Amino acid sequence: MNDEKGRIFTITDQSGVTKEYEILFTFDSEETQNSYIVFTDNNKDKDGNIITYAATYAKDGDKLELNDIKTEKEWTLIENLLSQIEEKLSSEN
């Protein structure tokens, strides 16, 4: 379920636990022919960095269907994009 701005969605896991996530960004890749979503629950790792997740997605009305990223090539694509965004944000500060 998305909020009215489309930035928050919830996932109910196999145990029935529902968790809320914030969409950081989405993008389409011509190279892989997939749409990707990068999101977070705003928890931090032991070093204080916000934990992020990524998946492929398809949107059906208000519903998001998330699927696992299956290849190393896709992970590299996402990691490179995250690095570029981080560098741009660092240079703006």
**DSSP state letter for 4:** T
Return per-residue pLDDT of the chain as tens, 93 residues: 444 456 898 888 889 999 999 999 999 999 899 999 999 999 999 999 889 999 999 988 878 889 999 999 999 999 999 889 888 888 886
Q: Sketch the domain layout of the chain as residue ranges.
A: 8-92
Contacts of 29 (CB under 8 A, 6+ apart): 35, 36, 74, 77
C-alpha to C-alpha distance for 62 and 60, rounded to whole angstroms: 6
